[in-house]
Structure 1
Amino acid sequence: MPAAAFESLTVDAEGLPLHVRQRGPQGVPAVLFLHGWLDHSHSFDPLCEHLPEAWRTVLLDFRGMGESGHAGPGATYHFSDHLLDVDATLDGLALPPVHLVGHSLGGIVALAYAAARPERVLSLTLIESLGPSGGPAAGAVQRLRGFLDDARRPPNRKRYPTVEAAAERLRQANPTLSPDAALLFASHGTRRTAEGDFAFTFDPRHRRRFGQGYDEAQWLALEAAVTCPVQLLRGTEGLSPAPELLEARLAALRTLAGPPRFFDGGHHVHLEQPAAVADAIAAFVARNARSDREASGS
């Protein structure tokens, strides 16, 4: 089913409007998709063409990205804010317990949310995502210094003469991104300015470093708190934690449903192999359908 079948809605996150798109509001199961850093919900459009039409499929734009509202003057973005975005979406749409699918940053958010709200998450699919960069506790001081340094730099919203030029800039930053995928991101992720050129819609303050973050021990504790089934989908040319971290992170996921599955592609493998990745997600959700029936009382 084409992406045009999705309805655009707004949910409230304590006064901040969040943009969501929904297909099949009466459908079962409910599946919520969370996009990557500086991306938007349209990054899942090719994938959604291959997903079951019977699902209640929900796509969220995180705050400060896509068509969602930006934080006010003087405010900053924190990782935990995105967990509030998920909470607001589930509450605003009166969603039952959901299956979460997250790419990159969206996967990190999905995993942390599943740890914090286990009763609201039935299964977890992580695409090219297995946690933040982490690091030793000693990195906390440098992280705070970086946060303070970034806060003094004014936001820089770059301009591009055409949507195609913006797409080419995306490919320069991510060479594994195909021309079609880059154009998809730029077409839905830019807006014409008053001067007639184009700028990305994400809040440039998202490029600033967080003041706080999880060290490796804290992140492993979050992973260990996840109680729902988890599957990992990765690209053969994608990103991965350092080898010394990978084994411990995989071991910490006590409900991991087998080893990671690999598909030919890079960090945005769900755009390069949408049919194959969609099949993997649909099969995993179907295997956990019993949890849906129990949640609905049927």
Structure 2
Amino acid sequence: MPAAAFESLTVDAEGLPLHVRQRGPQGAPAVLLLHGWLDHSHSFDPLCEHLPEAWRTVLLDFRGMGESGHVGPGAAYHFSDHLLDVEATLDGLALPPVHLVGHSLGGIVALAYAAARPERVKSLTLIESLGPSGGPPTGAVQRLRGFLGDSRRPPNRKRYPTVEAAAERLRQANPTLSPDAARLFARHGTRRTPEGDFAFTFDPRHRRRFGQGFDEAQWLALEAAVTCPVQLLRGTEGLSPAPELLEARLAALRTLAAPPRFFEGGHHVHLEQPAAIAAAIAAFVATPATEASSS
């Protein structure tokens, strides 16, 4: 079903408007898809064309990205804020326990939310996502220094003469991104400025470093707290934790349903293989253990 079938809605996150899109409000099960860093909900459009029409499918733009509101002057973005975005979406749409699908940052948020709110999550599908790169505890001081340094740097919203130029810039930053995927990101992720050129809609303050982060022990504790079934989908040319971390992270996911599944592609494999990734999600959501899970 084409993306046009989705209805745009706004939910409130303690005064901050969040943009969500929903298809099949009377459908079941409820599935919430969470996008990656500096992306937006339209990054799932090709995937959604292959997902079951009977589902209640919801797409969220994280705060400061896509068409969601930006935080006010003097404020910053923190990882835990995105868990508030998920909670606001579930509450604002009165969603039952959901199946969470997250790509990259969205997968990290989905996993952390499932650990904190196990009663609200039926399953996790993580696409190219297995946790942050927090580093050792000794990195805490340098992280704070980076955060303070970035806070002095004025936000820089780059301008592009055309949407195509913005798409080309995305490909320069991520060479594995296909031309079609880059155009999709740029078409839905830019806005014409009063001067007539184009700028990305995400808040450039998202590029500032976090002041706090999870070290490896903390992240493994979060993984161990997840009680719902989990599947991990990866691209053959995608990103991965360092080999010495990967084994421990996989072992900490006690409800991992099967070994990670690989699909030909890079970090945005769900854009390169939308039908195959959608089929994997649909089959996983339909398994009895996954459908029965709610705690």
> Structure 2-normalised TM-score?
0.98
Counterparts of 1:88-237 in structure 2, within 5 Å, are 88-237=88-237
Q: Deviations over 1:130-174 (max 9, x none)?
A: 000021101000000000000000000000000000000000000
Does the 8 Å CA contact 1:122/1:288 hold for their aligned counterparts? no
Does the 8 Å CA contact 1:136/1:216 hold for their aligned counterparts? yes
Q: Deviations over 1:245-275 (max 9, x none)?
A: 0000000000001100000000000000000
Give the secondary structure class of the aligned counterpart of 1:262.
Answer: strand
Does the 8 Å CA contact 2:122/2:294 hold for their aligned counterparts? no
Change (3 A) 1:136 1:156: same
Change (3 A) 1:113 1:297: closer
Does the 8 Å CA contact 2:77/2:210 hold for their aligned counterparts? yes
Q: Deviations over 1:63-106 (max 9, x none)?
A: 00000000000000000000000000000000000000000000
Q: Give the Cα separation in 2 of the matches to 1:225 and 1:218.
A: 11
Q: Give the Cα separation in 1 of the matches to 2:137 and 2:181.
A: 37
Q: Deviations over 1:34-60 (max 9, x none)?
A: 000000000000000000000000000
Tell me the number of residue pairs that the alignment of Structure 1 and Structure 2 aligns.
Answer: 294
Does the 8 Å CA contact 1:96/1:295 hold for their aligned counterparts? no
Q: Deviations over 1:199-220 (max 9, x none)?
A: 0000000000000000000000
Q: Give the Cα separation in 2 of the matches to 1:297 and 1:151.
A: 40
Q: CA-atom RMSD, angstroms? A: 1.6
Does the 8 Å CA contact 1:123/1:288 hold for their aligned counterparts? no
The runs of at least 4 aligned residues of structure 1 exceeding 6 Å deviation read 294-298
Q: Give the Cα separation in 1 of the matches to 2:220 and 2:196.
A: 48
Give the secondary structure class of the aligned counterpart of 2:176.
Answer: coil
Q: Deviations over 1:110-133 (max 9, x none)?
A: 000000000000000000000000
Does the 8 Å CA contact 1:193/1:199 hold for their aligned counterparts? yes
Give the secondary structure class of the aligned counterpart of 1:211.
Answer: coil
Change (3 A) 1:53 1:196: same
Superposed displacement of residue 295, structure 1: 7.5
Change (3 A) 1:287 1:197: same
Q: Give the Cα separation in 2 of the matches to 1:30 and 1:50.
A: 16
Q: Give the Cα separation in 2 of the matches to 1:287 and 1:82.
A: 28
Q: Give the Cα separation in 1 of the matches to 2:288 and 2:90.
A: 19
Q: Give the Cα separation in 2 of the matches to 1:156 and 1:263.
A: 36
Q: Give the Cα separation in 2 of the matches to 1:79 and 1:19.
A: 18
Give the secondary structure class of the aligned counterpart of 1:27.
Answer: coil
Q: Specify every segment of 5 or more residues in structure 1 that has no aligned partner in the other structure, as ranges.
A: none
Q: Give the Cα separation in 1 of the matches to 2:67 and 2:243.
A: 37
Does the 8 Å CA contact 2:104/2:127 hold for their aligned counterparts? yes
Change (3 A) 1:296 1:231: closer
Counterparts of 1:21-100 in structure 2, within 5 Å, are 21-100=21-100
Q: Deviations over 1:14-52 (max 9, x none)?
A: 000000000000000000000000000000000000000
Does the 8 Å CA contact 1:13/1:85 hold for their aligned counterparts? yes
Does the 8 Å CA contact 1:155/1:205 hold for their aligned counterparts? yes
Does the 8 Å CA contact 1:43/1:184 hold for their aligned counterparts? yes
> Structure 1-normalised TM-score?
0.97
Does the 8 Å CA contact 2:66/2:202 hold for their aligned counterparts? yes
Give the secondary structure class of the aligned counterpart of 1:71.
Answer: coil
Q: Give the Cα separation in 2 of the matches to 1:87 and 1:171.
A: 33
